[in-house]
Chain A
Amino acid sequence: MSSQDTPEENLPAEPPHGTDAEIAPSDALVPDPGLPPHLPRRQDIDERAAKRSERAVAGLFTLSMLATIGFIAGFVAIDVDKIIYVWPIGHISALNFTLGCTLGIALFAIGAGAVHWARTLMSDEEVVDERHPIEAPPEVRQRVIQDFRKGAGESQFGRRKLIRNTMFGALALVPLSGVVLLRDLGPLPGDKLRHTLWAKGKLLINQNTNEPMKPSDITVGSLTFAKPDGLEETAEDFQEQIAKAALMIVRLEPEDIKDKRELEWGHEGIVAFSKICTHVGCPISLYEQQTHHVLCPCHQSTFDLADGARVIFGPAGHALPQLRISVNSDGYLEALGDFTEPVGPSFWERG
């Protein structure tokens, strides 16, 4: 076993010698002006002024203590519903106002006291502490390199390549167990993103009245929000389901509808579109009844409900999905199936 077996790249690089001399100050072009002469503060000369400063600092710290006591007292004593009028803020919660003011004073007084203390009483004489080189002296470096070479040689790391390679393999594989554990962060989404509660024969329920709707209820220019029949607001998964199934219903004059499929999938100009923006899934229902445009408040994507909810502005990638609707034998609006494409934003496997 000799040190020649150790690959050179495992050793720390040999630093170039003789740098110390270059770092040392040479004849500088600009002479070091040194520190300005120290000027005393009033507190350094006048003991009465120093006493005043001491009292001011102590006063600030005392004020902080009092404010903290006030904070606790206010928290205990003030009713959470109490509203007071404070000029110029207006009608605000007495508790919030008290807690904010007292905590603000408590923190500010500590800071102000510390600054005043440091500026008036602590020593303000400037001192110079020369910086020493970060590099170790050459003999220490030499010894470390020698020790490293010796250790590498004694471990036979360079000579027994089988050990070296299997060790690298073992170290490389161990983190994989951690990667695999990430799988347990939650259940896979499955095909949940592709399906909503809408299905053939589901009645459209008006969210205002909780009643099914007849075509005559919906006038041209109106805007109505609907949920699938059977989904109650008290249901445990209501939010999860309405997040996908939310529907906006508008009625246009049939001759205003430019898209043939949109007209076919509606009922006498009543059309139902997903309320979920196809960009990042904001609820979108800023409907302009004269232009038939729907604007998303998050990123200004604009959809034309007269033309198959085509994107006419903004970052959304595709049109709002339309729900095929018709009228059942009792005269109520019903769905003719689920949305034919996933609602909401695009995802990797959407296709």
Chain B
Amino acid sequence: MKKLSVRRRHPLAALVVLLFALAATGGLYAAFAPAKTAQADSSSQSIAIEEGKKLYATGCSSCHGPGGQGSTDGPSLVGVGAAAVDFQVGTGRMPAQQPGAQVPKKQPIYTQAQIDQLAAYIASLGPGPGIPSKKQYDPKGGDIAAGGELFRTNCAQCHNFAGEGGALTDGKYAPSLRGVDPKHIYEAMLTGPQQMPTFPDTTMPEKAKRDIIAYVNDTTRADNPNPGGFSLGRLGPVTEGLFGWIFGLGALIATAVWVAARTAKARKS
């Protein structure tokens, strides 16, 4: 000990201490870092929350505030629930690329495991709707006809009767429901992302939501028949009229011009 204390004022002492400190940090990190793989099999809720908190701090806190309390750039996330996180991050809407009338859907940048960790962290901030189970949103269990009725009462005004989406005010819009994961449809009804109103279980029971998902799933599937032929976006008489006037009438005019432009004379003049 004496030797150490004698050399404590040595010019290189500070460097030695620094090296020791770095080695200790690195060693500790090396010891605990494999915890990442260890976490995957340990389903401990608190570890998920811890990991989610780290992901949150890097990816979300600049807009939603360091503790999820919200800022001028993003709303408070206290009490939005795991379902909201799973929807927003799972559809790629969050993290948002840029401010605007509406945050569009894009390729998600987090894995489902990371999304679950984020959701666990946000859920720990305040009670909110949880991620639904497969049983709740599985379209197989739904009544398509009843779902159609419910869809036309509650959803069709914005999302169009065939789920094709539509415009709202000031550049906002209701997105198309084509190809949307049933889980995300369920979560959207439960949490009301962006301008969409919520449809809580108290006013729209779980069974009604499953029926609606069954209807959307059936109507928007790629091999859903269009008995009349071209669907033209299923937007109704506007596109159909436009198509008729432009292509139908255009073909007639083109044929008439073609017939009249060709002479039947033996010697072309």
A residues whose Cβ falls under 8 Å from a Cβ of B: 39-45, 83, 89-93, 96-97, 100, 115, 119-120, 124, 206-209, 213, 216-219, 221-225, 250, 283-291, 293, 295, 297, 300, 302, 313
Chain A's closest residue to B265 (CB) is: A39
Q: A-B contact count, CB below 8 Å?
A: 117
B203 surroundings in chain A (CB, below 8 A): 206, 208-209, 213, 217-218, 222, 224
- B111 at the A/B interface (Cβ < 8 Å)? no
Tell me whether B169 and A219 are in contact (CB under 8 A). Answer: no
Chain A's closest residue to B259 (CB) is: A115
A124 to chain B, nearest CB (A): 7
A39 surroundings in chain B (CB, below 8 A): 265-267, 269
Tell me whether B204 and A287 are in contact (CB under 8 A). Answer: no
Tell me whether B264 and A288 are in contact (CB under 8 A). Answer: no
Known A-B contacts A217-B200, A219-B200, A287-B197; the reply to A91 vs B157 at CB < 8 A is no
Pick from A44, A219, A224, A287: contact of B266, CB below 8 A.
A44
- B37 at the A/B interface (Cβ < 8 Å)? no
Complex Cα gap A218–B197 (Å): 11
Complex Cα gap A42–B267 (Å): 8
B residues whose Cβ falls under 8 Å from a Cβ of A: 150, 153-154, 157-158, 166, 168-169, 172, 174, 192, 194-200, 202-205, 208, 223-231, 259, 264-267, 269
A40 surroundings in chain B (CB, below 8 A): 265-266
Complex Cα gap A222–B191 (Å): 9
24 contacts between A and B (CB under 8 A): A40-B266, A41-B265, A83-B225, A89-B226, A89-B230, A92-B226, A92-B228, A208-B203, A208-B204, A208-B205, A217-B202, A217-B203, A218-B202, A221-B197, A222-B192, A222-B197, A223-B154, A223-B198, A223-B199, A225-B153, A284-B157, A285-B157, A286-B158, A289-B198
Tell me whether A83 and B227 are in contact (CB under 8 A). Answer: yes
Tell me whether A41 and B264 are in contact (CB under 8 A). Answer: yes
Pick from A124, A208, A283: contact of B264, CB below 8 A.
A124
Tell me whether A223 and B226 are in contact (CB under 8 A). Answer: no
Complex Cα gap A225–B169 (Å): 21
